[in-house]
Amino acid sequence: MNAFADRVARINDLLCTVNLLNWDARVTMPKRGAETRGHQVATLKGLAREAILDPALRDLALAEHEAAHDPVRRRGAEAVLQAIDHHARIPAKLLRMQAERSALAGAAWAEARAASDFSIFRPHLEAVVGLARETADALGHDGHSYDPMVQVFEPGETAASLSALFDRLRAGILPILDAARGRPAPRTDFLYRHYPPETQQAYCAGLARDLGYDFGRGRLDTAVHPFEISFTREDVRITSRWRPDYLPMAIFGTIHETGHALYEMGVDPAHTRGVHATDLVGLYAVGGTSFGMHESQSRLLENHVGRSPGFWSAQFAGLRDAFPEQLRDVSEAEWVAAINRVEPGLIRVEADELSYDLHVILRVRIEMALMDGSLAVADLPEAWNAAMREDLGLSVPDDARGCLQDVHWSSGYIGSFPTYTIGNLTAARIMAHLDKSAPGLRAAADRGDTAPLRAALGQLVWRHGRSKSRAELQAELDGPADDPTDYLGYLRGKFG
């Protein structure tokens, strides 16, 4: 290992440890550990920052970039130089305050959500938003204060580009939604029967395994809000939640997080020596090329595969074996109709596929308003509830099913929500591309065999890790990155 790779590997080890502490905080840590956990994470991030800003690392990165003939190595050097520039703009004190506040805010959010009381979380969110504004100012921007925040998660996007895209998308979705709402609703009573959590977890573990998740390199645990987290491509963990009164939450949460995990596990091992180990900007040691590309893999698996009739032609018998009493009077066709129903609801992670993006657009507009100060944190519940009435025609009964339902803001992830919809657009673009270039993949998936599709995704997306940007990957898919045409066509074909 050369001197450059050795330094990057040490920083990578620090960041993997940060991720491990964050996983523990959300899965197993006792409630009273939040404050000290915040200090621990802040200390490790501070050490990583010091290592990133060591002038010797810049010299080594410049030398590596000049000497590298391999584009993967060159991209790795560029990523380090970008990370150095990013962290040079953010004061050490601000980084520490963010880490400490995130731990406290996460614990306060969980308490507030359980009590359905926004007032518990409000002072922490005010602090998070204040720190986000400081970060935006430190990074610098010519337009909206939201721009540098979203670019941490999705390089190239801005408040203006997202607003234009979302206006077009919303205008396309609402007529499809209105038409779908006018049709007779399928039977759904069986979705809400009692499903023992331990049986849900056992079934979902088998489902993840069937989809290619390698339990030799991962594990499935319980969390308040499902997530995937990676330390290396050899340790990629997923979580889900087991609502005893609503089975789809566990199933589709697990499929979604499995999609993330397959991306991580599918990176070419050679890339972990370079680009894949050096996303220091977002303080992640591993991952895909952007959050939007990452979400495209989870949303593709969740919706294009997991909600398809062909998938359940292979899986439904096993599902009924796991829950014989609950599904004794349910046919395969009734199950497929129920999980594809259009029934706008209050909760994003439980939303039907058609109304899902309206949940995302609501959150992005609120984030932008919080960042530019046009919305005060104290007024968030009222603004949220008004948007739900306008876009989905729903009245929000309490904070837990309203503005407290997502963990993202407590983690300081302001700017990440747009990536869910970018993921939906990208998933539809990928499937349209594969339908043209390899139509047999869809036929195999319709027989319940996802292996050929996963192999194609591995070649098209996963193996590259961060060695190609989302724009570079999109350029191979026959069209501009943020054109909703394919996605709206997919939605019209399924629900129109």
Give domain status of residue 154, yes or no.
Answer: no
Average pLDDT score over the chain: 91
| Own/partner long-range contacts of 25-30 (Cβ < 8 Å, ≥24 apart) | 25/103, 25/106, 26/106, 26/223, 26/224, 26/225, 26/227, 26/239, 26/407, 27/221, 27/222, 27/223, 27/239, 28/221
Q: pLDDT of 316-333, one tens digit each?
A: 999 999 999 999 999 999
From the candidates 100, 257, 302, 367, which is the catalytic residue? 257
* ∠ CA 319-325-328, rounded to 5°: 70
Kindly indicate the confidence band of residue 402, based on its pLDDT and cuts at 50, 70 and 90: very high
Kindly indicate the confidence band of residue 452, based on its pLDDT and cuts at 50, 70 and 90: very high
138 and 217, same domain (yes or no): no
pLDDT of 312 strictly over 70: yes
134 and 180, same domain (yes or no): no
334 and 448, same domain (yes or no): yes
Predicted local distance difference test score (pLDDT) of residue 276? 36
Predicted local distance difference test score (pLDDT) of residue 274? 40
Give how far the C-alpha of residue 414 lies from the chain's centroid of Cα atoms, to the nearest Å. Answer: 13
Kindly indicate the confidence band of residue 280, based on its pLDDT and cuts at 50, 70 and 90: very low
Which range, of 49-53, 345-349, 452-456, 482-486, averages the lowest pLDDT? 482-486
How many structural domains does the chain have? Answer: 2
Q: pLDDT of 146-175, one tens digit each?
A: 999 999 999 989 999 999 999 999 999 999
Tell me: is residue 260 an annotated ligand-binding position: yes
> In 3-state terms, what secondary structure has residue 90?
coil
Say what the pTM is: 0.90
CATH of the domain at 336: 1.10.1370.30
Predicted local distance difference test score (pLDDT) of residue 272? 53
Give domain status of residue 445, yes or no.
Answer: yes
- Among residues 144, 176, 205, which one ends one of the domains? 144
380 and 412, same domain (yes or no): yes
- Among residues 144, 175, 192, which one ends one of the domains? 144
108 and 203, same domain (yes or no): no
Q: Which domain holds residue 286?
A: 159-495
166 and 111, same domain (yes or no): no
Q: pLDDT of 128-153, one tens digit each?
A: 999 999 999 999 998 899 999 999 99
Report the C-alpha gap between 354 and 341 in whole angstroms: 9
Give domain status of residue 13, yes or no.
Answer: yes
Q: pLDDT of 206-242, one tens digit each?
A: 999 999 999 999 999 999 889 999 888 889 999 999 9
91 and 228, same domain (yes or no): no
Give domain status of residue 66, yes or no.
Answer: yes
pLDDT (mean) for 249-266: 96
Higher per-residue confidence, 78 vs 380:
380
Give domain status of residue 487, yes or no.
Answer: yes
Give domain status of residue 28, yes or no.
Answer: yes
Give domain status of residue 152, yes or no.
Answer: no
Predicted local distance difference test score (pLDDT) of residue 269? 77
- Is 257 part of the annotated catalytic residue set? yes
CB atoms within 10 A of CB 199: 16
Provide the percentage of residues in the chain whose pLDDT is more than 70.
96
138 and 82, same domain (yes or no): yes
Predicted local distance difference test score (pLDDT) of residue 221? 97
Task: Say if residues 225 and 272 touch (Cβ distance below 8 Å).
Answer: no
91 backbone dihedrals φ, ψ, rounded to 5°: -60, 145
Task: Say if residues 220 and 211 touch (Cβ distance below 8 Å).
Answer: no
Kindly indicate the confidence band of residue 480, based on its pLDDT and cuts at 50, 70 and 90: low
- Among residues 144, 168, 196, which one ends one of the domains? 144
401 and 463, same domain (yes or no): yes
Kindly indicate the confidence band of residue 284, based on its pLDDT and cuts at 50, 70 and 90: very low
